[in-house]
């Protein structure tokens, strides 16, 4: 065997000869590896901050023991023995009782306020250390004497309370005097939904709740909670928490239920983080794919250039295998360098992100683990091997004779090419991949019941990307050449001289151009599909949010113990900016638990379960007018509704029952509860239909399509309500709708209402605030995704540079001939700039369009399902900017590459072989 | 050298199309200058068919390139129809090549992805001719060189001789005043070479085309009116060849 020159030495020599090409390859891979590293570092950092955010909502409570049997009042007797049983477990650090007592009236300095008490055992709470409660000095967490209390700082300010002051609280028709010891700021000790409660020693409540040892819940913490909670392994975390939960349940026996608030929140939302990690890694994988295309393109050119050199090696005894290894070594050197620099990028970008977050007051620890470094290097080398495999095989298989005599060789590029038309092979491959990945649409329903979220998201994304990749291949093979020809046709009158030559170059470089087009289509397609999905879904939600909220401000009486209409009248009277107000009741079946409602035709030939809600005559006044759609009737139907035995039904129900205005609907209220039967709630009434509505804002049960008939909402007025329920209509107001003079006024009024009324009993929803929040969240996500995608596009741009650079290098002779015929230097520049611009525009445009429509399509399914309006959303600005940026840079890159050739004389160019 | 000077004097009349004086040109291999032309003087008259002969590396192609305006000399004068080429900008030279001077190369140098007709049309496209006039002229020229019916063939579908005929048609496209041929039959078999030389001879004799041709082959050179012999970057001998006897076109000589 012939001893061959050292492979690394040869690779270095080759790289030195083509420094620019090496630079492009290294930079592209470095960006891709950098993105891979950074996205993982950022996700790790987000994950680390995710648990504290969950804790904010749940308090630092790992275990909660409750009694959900509502007939047992009070729920927990003898909490001491319960706590003893729990404390016997080594897995639990400690447990404490809490008692939640709603419905008390706090008499402030000059205001009354409905409050809920939270009775705690201060000594146990301090010993366990559930988060922190920042108390105004000199109070101490372990000391809260009987008949003393702590109040949330903001609430104390709203009620104008003073520390040391004595206040009267009315509980169950008796009064209690409480001394305010301190105000507090909740730092994760209490769930955010409970921080408006008045904190007292649990013993303070004993006279009102039936004596000592009684609690509504017992809360506890795990011993090794830091080890148990690992956001990166949500499934294992949940499993471990459940194991301890089972141990606690065993220890306390039956009768009480164990809940795991943090694990449960993780189960509900932690999977979102898994999805985010998989999504970001997919994007990083996409940029790796694009850089793989680039390496492939560079190595193909390199191999083509060295055809004669390799043939010479073989004539002096080199084996085919050795040629193969030479090519692989060259690619591996490029990729290894790219990986190492990419890891450096990861550190650098992570550092800047950390600095940025610190300046925004967020301190997150970033770490790039050695395993991530190892993965990065392996990925880089993996990309090198895969991307250079085909060029290496091509170099290895080339015959010596054709290598030594390139003019006689059967070069594929010189094969008969009539036109740059559709490519059947690419179409067939793309079609097959799309069809195979199109299984996504069949698998989604099956996979939604799959137990593993990670597996679900991974397969889902893989299939989705596979589908997109297949579509991209079809576009590259069929549509892109046609679009190129279309562009050439359009620009023909402007570029008369060079049009033909550009067409010729596009034909000649079709293989390389297909790879470049693929890079752009994949990059732009993915950018657009993700950002359009986010944008359209959020815009859709914003445009349709009114159908959920109903009006500018919506108040929910969640405990159903407030006279809603009274509060509404107060608000309308007091706030000048509130133009009108109305309300709706809870469904009858919710007010009278154990009851269900069935609506049908006269003989119940057809019938459907419905929700029956009461509304006043001015119901629609504060609602968004543009979202109200009637299929029969006018606004006057709500006046007609107030008479006895009248009803407004949804179009969905009307269609199914084939009923309309003037017809009679039969409504039956059913129950198996003997008490309700005895009270006479089981009515069977005939109601005259006075209106049919397709859409009513705030009423999620009013729909148009027949498929929504079951579960549909029907509306009744005051008289019918009173007849059916025997309850006071005004008093039954559950949701209060308020119309304000402007969006800004809605926000101001809403915030004031929240300050004044919001407690766990009343919840204020401000439409503008919701819209703003959606927009903000959307912006952050879209920017984040797009920033990642811009990097991918930059790699694709390298592809254009590399392609033009190689094109220029291969075109010396052709340009020499054309110059000899009379082509001017500026026309030479024009040819290459035009070629690269047409390629960039057509592929970016097609990729963008593909992504845009795919993104829209995903929303369409949702919108149709929910009967939502479909918003018109322009492509995200950043994508349009990327598009312009790509075109300008591609043109500029071509101009720079062309300088080499346009400055040379025709004779110099012709001499080059 | 006295012969060379004399030749210049002889051809110095109002019909002179190309005039070359003391032409020098060197190439660099690294830092070493390799002289290609070392003081060339000669004139070419309108309607003349002149060939340059000499061994490889004597500077024939360099001389053609400079006269054709696709290369520039280091020193000396090159006049085309009284215009000094060394004073022209790149764009002016490009215009000159487009309208007045055309090239026929040894390896045809056709654009591989364009058909025969499209190849012939390229100079007319650059000049901005209308599509119909381009097509008509291209078809006429291809018919003239005997390629009627092969207009839509790609270069890879044509033989060497046919490709060279397309190349000559392309060179004729814009009605140039001077056609420069660099070994036009060098890559062809003798039968094809004969066809090409006959074509060039007909163009010269029937249409009055001025042709300057480089060749290695004496029988090819003998088709011309005059032969300039070059050696080591200089014209060392000038030879008048009044007829085609002994040339490649002389049917009395066996191939």
Q: What is the pLDDT of residue B51?
A: 93
Average pLDDT over residues A408-420: 43
A218, A221, A222, A223: CA torsion to nearest 10 = -120
CB contact under 8 A, B122 and A819: no
Q: Which of B111, B229, B93 is nearest to A907 (CA)?
A: B93
**Would you say residue A546 has pLDDT above 60?**
yes
- Asked whether residue B82 is assigned to any structural domain, the reply reads yes
Three-class DSSP category at A229: coil
Cis peptide before A138 (omega within 30 of 0): yes
The greatest distance separating any two alpha carbons of chain A, rounded to the nearest whole angstrom, comes to: 109
> What pLDDT does residue A269 have?
60
Whether residue A764 is predicted with pLDDT greater than 80 in this model: the reply is: no
What pLDDT was estimated at residue A219? 92
Based on the number of CB atoms within 10 Å of its own CB, is A63 exposed (0-12), middle (13-18) or buried (19 or more)? buried
DSSP string, A134-201: EEPTT-BTTB--TTEEEEEHHHHHHTT--TT-EEEEEETTEEEEEEEEEEEEEEBSS-GGGTTSEEEE
Confidence of residue A416 (pLDDT cuts 50, 70, 90): very low
Segment A339-350 shows an average pLDDT of 83
Q: Which site among B56, B88, B93, B94 would you substitute to test the A interface, given the most A Cβ atoms closer than 10 Å to its Cβ?
A: B94
Selection from B7, B19, B78, B73 nearest residue B46 by Cα? B19
- In terms of pLDDT, which residue wins out, A449 or A52? A52
- Domain with residue B65: its CATH number is 3.40.50.300
Q: Which of A508, A813, A823 sits opposite B126 (nearest CB)?
A: A823
Asked if A496's CB is within 8 angstroms of B113's CB, the reply is no
Q: What is the pLDDT of residue B9?
A: 32
Picking from B26, B64, B70 by the largest number of A CB atoms within 10 A of its own CB, the best residue to mutate is B70
Cβ <8 Å between B94 and A823: yes
Whole-complex ipTM: 0.81
Q: Does residue B135 fall inside a structural domain?
A: no
Kindly report the length of chain A.
913
pLDDT level of residue A626 (50, 70, 90 thresholds)? confident
3-state secondary structure of B79: strand
Please check whether residue A863 is in contact with residue A516, taking contact to mean a CB–CB distance below 8 angstroms. no
Domain assignment present for B157 = no
Amino acid B127: pLDDT: 85
Q: Which residue has the tokens 């009486």?
A: A557
Provide the residue range defining the domain that includes B52: 1-98+209-245
Q: Residue A403's pLDDT band (boundaries 50, 70, 90)?
A: low
Q: How far is CA B25 from CA A438, A654, A904, B76, in A?
A: 67, 97, 16, 9
Query: What does the pLDDT average to over A693-716?
Result: 89
Output the pLDDT for position A716: 95
Residue B238 lies in a domain: yes
CB-based contact A821 B170, cutoff 8 Å? yes
pLDDT of residue A913: 45
* CA–CA distance, A346 with A40 (Å, rounded to integer): 9
> Stretch A664-680: mean pLDDT, rounded?
83
Q: Which chain B residues are within 8 Å of A500, Cβ to Cβ?
A: 114, 118, 121-122, 125
* Predicted local confidence at residue A436, as pLDDT: 67
pLDDT for A230 beyond 70: yes
Q: What Cα–Cα distance (Å) separates residue B169 from each residue in A201, B108, B144, B197?
A: 107, 11, 8, 14
Residue A279, pLDDT score: 73
Q: In the A/B pair of chains, how many CB contacts fall below 8 A?
A: 82
Residue B105: closest C-alpha in chain A: A817
The residue with greater pLDDT, A556 or B154, is: B154
Distance between CA atoms of residues A460 and A481, nearest Å: 31
Least confident among A25-39, A43-57, B187-201: A43-57
Alpha-carbon dihedral A605, A606, A610, A613, rounded to 10 degrees: -60
Q: Which residue has the higher pLDDT, A99 or A373?
A: A99
Cα B17 from Cα B15, distance rounded (Å): 6
Q: Is the peptide bond before A74 cis (omega within 30 degrees of 0)?
A: yes
pLDDT at residue A408, as a whole number: 44
Confidence class for position A556, pLDDT limits 50, 70, 90: confident
Q: What is the pLDDT of residue B5?
A: 29
Could you read off the pLDDT tens digit of each residue along chain B, which spans 255 residues? 333 323 323 333 448 999 999 999 998 877 788 899 999 999 999 999 999 999 888 999 899 989 998 888 999 999 999 899 989 988 888 888 888 999 898 888 888 778 899 999 988 988 888 889 999 999 999 998 889 999 999 888 898 889 999 999 999 998 899 999 988 888 788 888 888 889 899 999 888 899 999 998 888 888 888 999 999 999 999 888 877 677 777 766 655
Q: What average pLDDT does range A706-714 have in this prediction?
A: 88
Confidence of residue A635 (pLDDT cuts 50, 70, 90): very high
Task: Please name the helix (run of DSSP H) or strand (run of DSSP E) that holds residue A678, with its range, or none.
Answer: helix A674-678
Chain A CB contacts of B123 under 8 Å are 821-822
Task: Name the domain count of chain B.
Answer: 1
B219 found inside a domain: yes
Helices (H) and strands (E) in chain A, counts: 32, 21
* C-alpha distances out from residue A400 to A95, A309, A313, A396, Å: 82, 10, 9, 10
Read off the pLDDT of residues A160-193 as tens digits, 9 standing for 90 and up.
Answer: 788 888 888 877 667 888 899 999 888 878 877 6
Reply yes or no on whether the pLDDT at A132 is more than 80: no
Lowest-pLDDT choice from A267-281, A740-754, B112-126: A267-281
Q: What is the pLDDT of residue A563?
A: 64
The answer to which of A546-560, A742-756, A829-843 has the lowest mean pLDDT is A546-560
Does A69 or A818 have the greater pLDDT score?
Answer: A818
Q: What pLDDT was estimated at residue A652?
A: 92
pLDDT at A795: 73
Give me the pLDDT at residue A365, please: 62
Residue A239 has pLDDT above 70, yes or no: yes
Q: A356: pLDDT confidence band, cut at 50, 70 and 90?
A: confident
Confidence of residue A366 (pLDDT cuts 50, 70, 90): low
Q: Is residue B37 situated within a structural domain?
A: yes
pLDDT for position A613: 93
- Interface residues of chain B, partner chain A, Cβ below 8 Å: 62, 65, 68, 70-72, 90-91, 94-95, 97-99, 102-103, 105, 107, 109, 111-114, 118, 121-123, 125-128, 154, 156-157, 170, 174
Exposure string for A721-758, b = 16+ CB within 10 A, e = fewer: bbebbeeebbebbbbbbbbbeeeebbbebbeebbebbb
Q: What pairs with residue A183 in β-bridges?
A: A151
- Residue A138 pLDDT greater than 90, yes or no: no
Task: Output the pLDDT for position A306.
Answer: 81
Tokens of A405: 């005599």
**Nearest-CA distance A906 → chain B (Å):** 5
- At residue B13, the pLDDT reads 45
Instruction: Give me chain A's average pLDDT, please.
Output: 80
Q: How large a percentage of chain A has pLDDT more than 90? A: 12
- Percent of chain A whose predicted confidence (pLDDT) is above 70: 85
**Taking 60 as the threshold, does the pLDDT of residue A779 lie above it?**
yes
**Residue A247 to residues A85, A87, A91, A222, B230: CA-CA distances in angstroms?**
11, 11, 9, 12, 106
Q: What is the mean pLDDT of residues A737-742?
A: 90
Give kind and range of the element (H or E) at residue A568: helix A564-574
The verdict on residue B79 lying in a domain is yes
Of B232, B220, B216, nearest to B53 (Cα)?
B216
**What's residue A824's pLDDT?**
86
């Amino acid at each position: 065997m012939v001893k061959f020159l050292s492979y690394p030495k040869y690779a270095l020599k080759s790289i030195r000869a083509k420094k620019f090409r090496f630079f492009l390859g290294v930079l592209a891979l470095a960006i891709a590896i950098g993105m891979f590293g950074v996205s993982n570092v950022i996700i790790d950092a987000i994950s680390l901050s995710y648990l504290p955010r969950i804790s904010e909502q749940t308090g630092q409570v790992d275990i909660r023991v409750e009694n959900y049997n509502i007939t047992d009042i009070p729920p927990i007797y003898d909490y001491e023995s319960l706590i003893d049983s729990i404390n016997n477990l080594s897995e639990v650090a400690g447990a404490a009782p809490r008692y939640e007592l709603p419905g008390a009236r706090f008499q402030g300095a000059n205001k009354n306020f409905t409050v809920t008490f939270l009775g705690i055992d201060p000594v146990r709470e301090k010993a366990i250390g559930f988060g922190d409660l920042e108390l105004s000095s000199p109070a101490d967490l372990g000391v809260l004497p009987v008949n003393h209390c702590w109040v949330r700082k903001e609430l104390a300010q709203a009620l104008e309370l003073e520390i040391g002051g004595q206040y009267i609280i009315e509980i169950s028709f008796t009064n209690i005097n409480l001394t305010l010891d301190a105000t507090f700021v909740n730092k994760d000790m209490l769930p955010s939904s409970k921080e408006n409660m008045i904190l007292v020693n649990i013993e303070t409540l004993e006279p009102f709740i039936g004596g000592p040892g009684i609690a509504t819940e017992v809360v506890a913490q795990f011993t090794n909670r830091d080890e148990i909670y690992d956001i990166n392994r949500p499934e294992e975390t949940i499993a471990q928490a459940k194991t301890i939960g089972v141990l606690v349940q065993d220890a306390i026996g039956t009768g009480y239920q164990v809940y795991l608030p943090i694990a449960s929140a993780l189960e509900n939302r932690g999977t979102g983080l898994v999805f985010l990690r998989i999504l970001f890694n997919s994007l990083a994988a996409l940029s790796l794919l694009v850089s793989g295309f680039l390496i492939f393109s560079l190595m193909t050119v390199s191999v083509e250039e060295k055809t004669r050199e390799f043939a010479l090696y073989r004539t002096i005894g080199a084996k085919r295998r050795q040629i193969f290894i030479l090519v692989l070594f060259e690619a591996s050197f490029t990729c290894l360098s790219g990986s190492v620099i990419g890891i450096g990028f990861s550190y650098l970008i992570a550092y800047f992100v950390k600095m940025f977050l610190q300046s925004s007051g967020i301190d997150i620890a970033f770490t790039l683990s050695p395993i991530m470094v190892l993965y990065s290097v392996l990925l880089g080398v993996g990309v090198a091997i895969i991307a250079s495999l085909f060029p290496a095989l091509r170099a290895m298989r080339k015959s010596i004779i054709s290598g030594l005599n390139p003019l006689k060789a059967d070069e594929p590029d010189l094969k008969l090419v009539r036109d740059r038309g559709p490519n059947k092979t690419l179409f067939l491959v793309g079609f097959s991949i799309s069809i195979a990945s199109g299984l996504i649409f069949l698998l989604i329903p099956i996979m939604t019941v799959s137990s593993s979220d990670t597996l679900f998201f991974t397969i889902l994304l893989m299939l989705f990307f596979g589908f997109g990749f297949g579509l991209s291949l079809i576009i590259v093979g069929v549509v892109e050449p046609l679009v190129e020809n279309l562009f050439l046709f359009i620009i023909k009158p402007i570029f008369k001289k060079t049009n033909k030559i550009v067409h010729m170059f596009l034909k000649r470089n079709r293989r390389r151009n297909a790879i470049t087009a693929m890079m752009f289509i994949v990059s732009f397609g993915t950018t657009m599909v993700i950002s359009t999905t986010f944008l359209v879904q959020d815009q859709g939600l914003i445009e349709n949010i009114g159908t959920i909220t109903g009006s500018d401000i919506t108040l929910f009486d969640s405990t159903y113990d407030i006279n809603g209409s009274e509060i509404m009248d107060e608000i309308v009277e007091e706030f000048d900016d509130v133009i009108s107000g109305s309300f709706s009741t809870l469904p009858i079946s919710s007010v009278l638990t154990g009851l269900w409602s069935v609506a049908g035709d006269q003989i119940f030939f057809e019938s459907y379960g419905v929700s029956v809600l009461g509304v006043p005559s001015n119901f629609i006044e504060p609602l968004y007018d543009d979202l109200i759609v009637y299929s029969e009737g006018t606004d006057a139907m709500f006046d007609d509704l107030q008479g006895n035995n009248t009803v407004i039904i949804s179009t969905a129900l009307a269609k199914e029952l084939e009923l309309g205005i003037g017809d009679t609907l039969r409504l039956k209220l059913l129950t198996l509860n003997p008490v309700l039967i005895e009270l006479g709630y089981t009515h069977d009434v005939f109601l005259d239909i006075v209106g049919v509505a397709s859409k009513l804002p705030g009423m999620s049960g009013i729909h148009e399509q027949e498929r929504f008939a079951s579960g549909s909402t029907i509306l009744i007025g005051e008289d019918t309500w009173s007849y059916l329920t025997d309850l006071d209509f005004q008093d039954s107001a559950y949701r209060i709708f308020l119309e304000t003079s402007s969006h800004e006024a809605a926000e101001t009024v809403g915030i004031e209402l929240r300050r004044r009324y919001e407690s766990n009993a009343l919840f204020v929803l401000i439409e503008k605030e919701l819209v703003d929040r959606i927009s903000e969240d959307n912006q952050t996500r879209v920017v984040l995704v797009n920033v990642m995608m811009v990097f991918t596009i930059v790699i694709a741009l390298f592809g254009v540079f590399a392609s033009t650079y190689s094109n220029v290098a291969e075109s010396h002779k052709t340009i020499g001939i054309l110059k000899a015929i009379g082509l001017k230097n500026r026309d030479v520049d024009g040819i290459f700039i035009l070629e690269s611009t047409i390629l960039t525009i057509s592929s970016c445009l097609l990729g963008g369009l593909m992504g845009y429509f795919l993104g829209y399509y995903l929303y369409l399914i949702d919108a149709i399902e929910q009967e939502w309006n479909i918003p018109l959303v322009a492509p995200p600005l950043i994508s349009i900017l990327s598009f312009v940026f790509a075109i300008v840079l591609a043109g500029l890159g071509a101009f720079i590459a062309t300088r080499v050739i346009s400055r040379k004389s025709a004779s110099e160019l012709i001499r080059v072989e | 050298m006295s012969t060379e000077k004399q030749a210049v004097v002889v051809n110095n009349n109002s019909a002179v199309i190309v005039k070359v004086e003391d032409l020098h040109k060197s190439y660099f291999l690294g830092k070493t200058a390799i002289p290609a032309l070392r003081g060339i003087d000669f004139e070419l008259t309108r309607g003349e068919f002149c060939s340059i002969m000499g061994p490889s590396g004597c500077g024939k192609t360099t001389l053609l390139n400079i006269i054709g305006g696709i290369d520039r000399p280091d020193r000396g004068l090159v006049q085309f129809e009284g215009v000094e080429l060394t004073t022209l900008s790149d764009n002016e030279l490009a215009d000159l090549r487009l309208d007045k001077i055309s090239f026929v190369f040894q390896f045809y140098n056709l654009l591989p992805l364009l058909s025969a007709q499209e190849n012939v049309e390229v100079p007319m496209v650059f000049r901005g001719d209308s599509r119909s006039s381009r097509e008509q002229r291209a078809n006429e020229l291809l018919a003239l060189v005997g390629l009627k019916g092969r207009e839509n063939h790609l270069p890879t579908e044509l033989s060497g001789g046919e490709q060279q005929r397309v190349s000559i048609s392309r060179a004729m496209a814009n009605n140039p005043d001077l056609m420069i041929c660099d070994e036009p039959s060098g890559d062809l078999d003798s039968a094809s070479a004969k066809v090409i030389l006959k074509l060039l001879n007909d163009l010269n004799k029937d249409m009055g085309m001025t042709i300057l041709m480089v060749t290695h082959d004496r029988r090819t050179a003998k088709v011309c009116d005059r032969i300039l012999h070059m050696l080591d970057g200089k014209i060392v001998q000038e030879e008048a060849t009044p007829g085609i006897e002994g040339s490649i076109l002389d049917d009395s000589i066996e191939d």
